[in-house]
Chain A
Amino acid sequence: MKFLRHSDRLELALLLVVAALPLALQALGEDYYISFATRLLIFTLAATSLNFIVGYGGMLAFGHAAFFGIGAYVVALMMAENITSAWIAWPLAILVAALVALLIGAISLRTRGVYFIMITLAFAQMIYYTMISLKNAGGDDGLPLAQRSTLAPFNLADDATLYWVTLALLAVCIIALKRIAASRFGRALAGLRQNEVRMEALGYPVHQLKLACFVIGAAIAGLAGALLANQNGLASPSQLYWTQSGMLLVMVILGGVGQRYGGVGGAIALLGLEEALGQITDRSQLYIGIVLLLVVLYAPRGLVALWVRQR
């Protein structure tokens, strides 16, 4: 494998270990943790997509739950119409999320700073309230899925298969985002983060570049949402609510904004902590809050940065 650089080889090794996880869990008889690990991967994907917008695009978007939730609702609504194939429903989930992001982004990117935070939040809330007032989307209760999507030749009803499919999609997305970050487009985004005015003066189409970044992130979030609907067996309004956007943002900040594995580290740290604390106390939210405060005060660049620096 000569075409792989050293860091790539490390990542490949890590991927193989993570891929072997369900076999190990099955051998140990801890099948419950396969579902948990799938959830972890899905949130990792969602957080990674937000990290692309926040960390690479430099846009502090506070409405990511909208795209995450749309993905889930598209799959559930298709299922209600008896269209179970993932080959149709998942790309559609990605497409709808991307189109909505195109619209929201085109308007929101006229504002900046705090106003951008707030307008993305407002749009996400609009989608939340629209979905809960639609009768055929299940209202407040959300929309249950009759079954998991069918992804011939794979059998998604099997928990381990869903895990592997999720892992494969996550790996593809991470590699794609890595390539994008290294491309001319990615370099232009890095330039924008440094100095937007100068990039504009150099003739870069600033607005379009940021919009493209926003849409790419949203499309991946749509895919993550489609996966979560399959994992939960439900498209839930809580997945669209602003606290979900907050949670995803917390994951990104916790892991490290703009770090390639910031989304991964943050999602695993937060959900892992929640799961571990849930085993020993009913008050896990209290301790998570305290941990987050400690991170803000003592590890301002996130956990991944902390680890990278110490090596």
Chain B
Amino acid sequence: MTQLVLEQLLNGLQFGLMLFLLAAGLTLVFGIMDMVNLSHGSLYMGGAYLGAVAAQASGSFLIGVLAATLGMAAVGLVLEVLLFRKLYTRDHLSQVLATFAVILIANEVVRIIWGPQPLMLNPPELLAGPVELLGFSYPAYRLFIIVVGLGIATLLYLLVSYTRVGMRVRAGASNRAMAQALGVDVRRLFTGIFALGAALCAVAGVLLGPLLAVQVGMGENILILAFVVIVIGGIGSIRGALIGSLLVGMADTLGRALLPTLLRAVASPEVAAHLGPALASIMIYLLMAGILFWLPQGLFPSRA
């Protein structure tokens, strides 16, 4: 039992860190520009596809990751300059419509280029097997994701908390007009943030590629989870995104793995079999509704 719990804790950590890579960019876009971006999941999908194709062509997973990161950063840059820049001053409704349109276009473009079949992305051979960890074996590739995720999260945290650029980002999230008045070029800053967010999405897409299917529509599922994360954490807060990601990753993973077992202890097996999966899949939404009920601005409100 303890081994199962430990293993699921690691899985939860791994999932949470990947969610963080998605949520980090989304929360800044949301927080600084007050912009609802539904197409963030499409960047994630784009990253996974680019990574899978590049890895297949070159035979190297690392090249796949690099190609996806740089490729999606470029795509993010172009999207921001051509489209998103025009949407910042518009109301949320227009942003919903425009970014929903981007989802439709992105899904169709991916279908045109790579066809409707899911792509296969294999983990690097070096990490294909399990490793011994605290007396039980754990897939090496999942451990690798955890390490990379922790590394990126730390770097991002340091970047936002301790550098001059990060200070400007935080100033922008707290009060955009004031930051602008004090001489921060919010426009250029934001183009940078958007490209960075796209790159982080791409990393998450490639890393999760071998675990989940690389297919059209993959972005829509995870996008909602990323939204849940940033709303729980408080929109615009990197710290909130990190805490929120870990909470959601853990709640989702542990809920799915343990809830049916726990329910069996207190209810009849039949009820547990029905209720368990249902409760597990709505766990994170319950968590979010509960947090918003008591803290309508999320855990770490970023606005002054």
Contact = CB atoms under 8 A, between A and B. Distances in A.
Interface in A22-76: 54, 60, 62
Contact of B288 (A112, A122, A253): A122
Nearest to B228: A122
Contacts of A125: 224, 282, 285
Contact of A290 (B92, B105, B277, B285): B105
5 contacts: A60-B92, A110-B296, A130-B278, A290-B105, A297-B86
Interface in B24-39: 30, 34, 36, 38
Given A121-B224, A129-B278, 15 more contacts: A60-B93, A114-B92, A115-B292, A126-B282, A126-B286, A126-B289, A133-B278, A134-B278, A246-B38, A246-B96, A253-B93, A253-B96, A292-B101, A296-B90, A300-B90
A194 B83 CA distance: 30
Contact of B101 (A113, A122, A289): A289
Given A114-B235, A297-B86, A286 B104 contact: yes
Interface in A100-116: 107, 110-115
Contact of B107 (A122, A250, A285, A290): A285
Contact of B108 (A114, A121, A122, A289): A289
A293 interface: yes
A224 to B, nearest CB: 20
A242 interface: yes
A254 B220 CA distance: 21
Interface string B270-284: 000010011001100
Given A118-B227, A292-B98, A283 B108 contact: yes
B94 A123 contact: no
Contacts of A110: 292-293, 296
B14 to A, nearest CB: 22
Interface residues on B, range: 35 or more
Interface of B: 30, 34, 36, 38, 83, 86-87, 90, 92-94, 96-98, 100-105, 107-109, 112, 220, 224, 227-228, 231, 235, 274, 277-278, 281-282, 285-286, 288-289, 292-293, 296-298
Contacts of B285: 122-123, 125-126, 129
Contacts of B288: 118-119, 122
Contacts of A286: 104-105, 108-109, 112
B84 to A, nearest CB: 11
A246 B102 CA distance: 12
